[in-house]
Amino acid sequence: MNPGIMKFLKIIYYIFLAFIVIIAILLIVSVLPITGNIKFFVVQSGSMEPAIKMGSVVMIKPEKDYKVGDIITFGRYTRTKAPTTHRIYKIDNQGPEPLYITKGDANNAPDFKKIRKSEILGKVILSVPYVGYAVDFAKKPVGFALIIIIPAGVIIGDEIKKIYVEIKKKKTK
């Protein structure tokens, strides 16, 4: 085979492996319940478009204070319910604690429910478009199996090929 093609295939192979490792890391970090730390979530709707596209992975970090214009992730995170990521539209300081009024950039009106600071999981510090589709797929049993089985198969196949080539070299000597 042409050495240029072999080099190209090897580069594609390493890019694929790096992509799989990144997906696995995001999957593990998004599942671990680490409080007060950076977390990753998948954006499930288009309410924040064009700023944050549906299917993006957002990295959030809890902050001491939040201000108007900050994009925050809030709400409960369970197996059946994902938290919401919206922009702080207004802050209501009339009570003993501030209440945050949020709004999705693509929505016509602010959200009905006011958010307490204790409900805020963190401020969005990074958004990576479309990677969330792969992370969501990896959370499903079929996706998880494919993310483990395909790379393992590729690595094992590559190692078997190397062993075969070495055995062939030794037999010809």
| pLDDT attached to residue 50 | 92
pLDDT at 88: 96
Domain count, the chain: 1
Give strand ranges (E) for 16-83: 39-42, 57-61, 71-74
Interval 99-142: pLDDT, tens: 999 999 999 999 999 999 999 999 999 898 988 887 777 778 88
- Per-residue pLDDT for 27 more than 70? no
Residue 1's pLDDT is what?
63
* Contact call for residues 105 and 50 (beta carbons, < 8 A): yes
Please report whether residue 128 resides in a domain.
Answer: yes
Place of tokens 């990295």: 59
CATH assignment of the domain containing 107: 2.10.109.10
Strands 115-116 and 120-128, by their bridges, are: unpaired
Pick from 13-17, 22-26, 101-105, 165-169 the range whose average pLDDT is largest: 101-105
Counted residue by residue, the chain has a size of 173
- Cα–Cα distance for residue pair 102/85, rounded to 1 Å: 9
pTM exceeds 0.85: no
Is the residue at 13 inside a domain? yes
Q: Give the three-class secondary structure for 60.
A: strand
Q: Are 86 and 104 in contact (CB under 8 A)?
A: yes
In a domain, 172, yes or no: no
In a domain, 157, yes or no: no
pLDDT tens, position by position, 35-80: 557 788 889 899 999 999 999 989 898 999 999 999 999 998 777 7
Residue 82: pLDDT above 90?
no
pLDDT of residue 113: 93
pLDDT at residue 136 in the model: 78
Note whether residue 57 is domain-resident.
Answer: yes
At 49 the pLDDT is: 93
Residue at 156 is within a domain: no
What residue numbers bound the domain in which 100 lies?
3-139
166 falls within a domain: no
For 28-39, give one letter per residue: b (16+ CB within 10 A) or e. eebeeeeeeeeb
Is 118 inside a domain boundary?
yes
